[in-house]
Structure formats: structure tokens, C-alpha cells
Amino acid sequence: MKFIIFFNVLTLVLQYSYAQNIDSLLKIADSSQNKKSAEIFMTVSDFYLYSNPDSALFFLDKALTKVNGDDVFLKKLKAGILQKKAIIKNEQGNIDTALIFLKESLKIAEKIKDTSLIIKAKGNIGNSYLNISKYDDAISYYTYVIKLAEKRKNNKISAAVNGAMGNLYLAINDYEKALFYYQKSYEYFKELGSETGIALSNMNMATVYSNMKKYSKATENYKKANAVFIKQKNYLNSAKCKSGLAKIFFKTKDYSNSVRNEKEALKVYKLYDAVMDISYSYNLIADNYIHMKEYYTAILYLDSAFNIQKKGKNLFKVEQITDKLRICYDSLKDYKKAYKYSLLHKAYYDSVFNEKSDKRFSELEVKFETAQKEQQLELYKKMRKY
């Protein structure tokens, strides 16, 4: 799964009331001084954040053109703008670019000694690493934020960092600890009166309950979170709640309802160009079709997921997809392709623990075209008979 970035709760306040005033705001921005213009462009970008991420990026880029200079306030604005851009890039699955923006923001924040911006940058860097399963790096950044949160006794920081720790323990399947930290985060957000934070906590707790097979509690929390997101017109997180419900249907073997919910979520992910979420949707839909023995349809979705994931750095996900493709082709008695994906699966499986994966993949492509491969394929087919 892709983890919710809790630290954007500290920086993001959606301004839906500006919906009818965008044009007038932009006119003011064009005629104002740099500081005021940048703030207006940032406000407008917040409005588009969930409805049109590309437009949000466009206005953030316009804001960036207004914050050049040595003034401390302009530098602070620049750091904030870079963090907002990183949040969008992270949602779109472009983790490398997100990390570039976040580290540049961190550098500025450290230079001007803005503790709040440092915390947000380090927290989001930790979450970015978590999204690509670099747990040691994530822990390193989280540890810093945890210590500072305890020192400052700041509820906003505490809410965010407890959510982040919940993400970490969820990633390593320690559900009791994940739930503990998500519940702590929920309590902090409740004290703050943050409706968005409470909804995010509900959604994350629902994911834990789902993994613990407490499906009624999971469903209840997803529905609570979804009601808030729909009210806020936060359709992306609403789609994630749909995906969570789809997983519950899958686990309870209600495959048709699982597919229906996930396809609804997929439509939203495509609108927002949320690449990693699109990939996960393809994967879950394929899982359902595999269980329904509709292997050709499953292959279509797995191929799409494979094409996305192989461009990224989450080799664990690619390894899972190649194994599912092997299962599909094996079930269809297409042993040539089944063998191909069994080799790819082994290569990706090994690469999770081996840094020499690039060389392994190159050798694999060459070997696959040799006569030796054909002999091995025949042996594979014979073995399948026993």
C-alpha cells in the first residue's frame, strides 16, 4: 500500500470557500508584490490540490517565481512551496522528484533555522522513504521528529509523528503497534479539532483492522473517513477508502463487489494521475479475477501494473506481480510464458536482497533467447506433468 503523508496535515488547509473567487484572487496576485503574490498562488494551488494536481503544480511554480531573494520570509515561503510540490509528486508516485524538493526545502529551513519547516520536511522525507520500503532511512528521519515533538510538546507535531510511526509499523506488519500509534494520532487530532486529521486516522486505523481481520471495525472506520472526504471534496482520499473496502470484500471472498469498488477508485486515481495507486488498483483487480479464474482479464491488469512498477524502485511489488503472471500463464497452460515469468520472478526476488539486480536482469534477457532456454523450457513442461 502507499502510505498517507501525515505531515501535509500541518501545512495544508484547503480553501474551498475561494472556489468562486479564483479569478479575482489571480488578478490581485498579478498586480501585487512578490510576497502577497506568492501567498495567493499558494492558496489557489490548495484549492486545486485534490481536484486537479497539475493545476496545483502550475500555481505552485508561479508562486516559486515570486520568492527569489534573501528575505527570510521569502525563503520560508519557498521552503513551503517546495514541500507542497513534493506532496503532489509523492501522490503521483514520483518519489525521487519528491525527495529532491523535500531535501531542498530542508536545506532552506535549516539555513533560516525554522524548526517547524524542518520538522515537516524531515517527516515527509521519512514518509517518502517509507513509500519505497527504505525503512532504515525512514526510521532515521522519524527519530529526529519524535525527539523534537517530545521536546516541544506540540500537539500538531505529535499527531503527525504518531501517524508516521503507525505507518512504519504497518509496513512491517506489526499491527498492534501500528494501531497504538494511529490511535494516539487520532486523539491528538481530536484535541486539535482537525476534521481532516481525524479522517486520516480513521482511514489508517481501518487498514490495520482490515489486516487484523476485524472487518466490521475496518468497514466502520473507512465509512467514517469517507464521509468526511466526500464533504471536503477530497475525492482522492475518498477513493482510497473505496480501495480499502474493496480489499475487505476481497478478503471475505466477495470478488464481484471488490472489483466494483476498486474500479470506482481506479477512475479517480486516473483523473489525478496517482500512478502508484493506479498500479495497486490494477493489482487488486487482477487478484480478484485470478480467484474468479478469469486469467486473461487478470493478465491485462497485471501487465499494466508491471509496466508501472518496473519503472519505479519497489522491486518487492514487481516480484509479486511476476509471480501472479506466472500463475496465470501456468493455469492457461501457456508454459513458455509461465517459464519466462518464473525466471523474472526469481530475478526480482533475488534482487530484493541483492544489489546486483541490473546485471541479473540483463543476463536474463539474453538467456531467454538461447537454445539452452528452450531445453530448460521442455524440462519445465515435463516437470509440470508430475
Kindly indicate the confidence band of residue 359, based on its pLDDT and cuts at 50, 70 and 90.
very low
Kindly indicate the confidence band of residue 26, based on its pLDDT and cuts at 50, 70 and 90.
low
pLDDT score for 260:
98
- Mapping DSSP onto H, E and C, the string for the chain reads CCCCCHHHHHCCCCCHHHHHHHHHHHHHHHHCCHHHHHHHHHHHHHHHCCCCHHHHHHHHHHHHCCCCCCCHHHHHHHHHHHHHHHHHHHHCCCHHHHHHHHHHHHHHHHHHCCHHHHHHHHHHHHHHHHHCCCHHHHHHHHHHHHHHHHHHCCHHHHHHHHHHHHHHHHHCCCHHHHHHHHHHHHHHHHHHCCHHHHHHHHHHHHHHHHHCCCHHHHHHHHHHHHHHHHHCCCHHHHHHHHHHHHHHHHHCCCHHHHHHHHHHHHHHHHHCCCHHHHHHHHHHHHHHHHHCCCHHHHHHHHHHHHHHHCCCCCHHHHHHHHHHHHHHHHHCCCHHHHHHHHHHHHHHHHHHHCCCHHHHHHHHHHHCCCHHHHHHHHHHHHHHCC
Give the whole-angstrom CA distance, residue 328 versus residue 305.
Answer: 14
pLDDT score for 202:
97
On the question of pLDDT at 17 being above 60, the answer is no
Q: What is the pTM of this model?
A: 0.64
What contacts 370, CB < 8 A, 6 or more positions away? none
Give the whole-angstrom CA distance, residue 253 versus residue 302.
Answer: 20
pLDDT score for 28:
55
On the question of pLDDT at 42 being above 90, the answer is no
For domain 1-134, the CATH superfamily is Tetratricopeptide repeat domain (1.25.40.10)
On the question of pLDDT at 22 being above 70, the answer is no
Segment 167-193 shows an average pLDDT of 92
pLDDT score for 51:
67
On the question of pLDDT at 31 being above 60, the answer is no
Least confident of 58-67, 141-150, 205-214, 352-361: 352-361
On the question of pLDDT at 201 being above 80, the answer is yes
Name which of 79, 109, 85, 105 is nearest 97 in CA terms.
Answer: 85
Please tell me which residue, 191 or 373, carries the higher pLDDT value.
191
Kindly indicate the confidence band of residue 50, based on its pLDDT and cuts at 50, 70 and 90.
low
Please tell me which residue, 349 or 72, carries the higher pLDDT value.
72
On the question of pLDDT at 30 being above 90, the answer is no
Other Cβ atoms within 10 Å of 378 Cβ, number: 12
Q: Are 37 and 77 spatial neighbours (Cβ–Cβ below 8 Å)?
A: no
Q: Encode pLDDT of 281-330 as tens digits.
A: 999 999 999 999 999 999 999 999 988 877 655 566 788 889 999 999 99
pLDDT score for 371:
47
User: How does the average pLDDT of the chain come out, rounded?
Assistant: 82
On the question of pLDDT at 47 being above 80, the answer is no
pLDDT score for 380:
53
pLDDT score for 10:
42
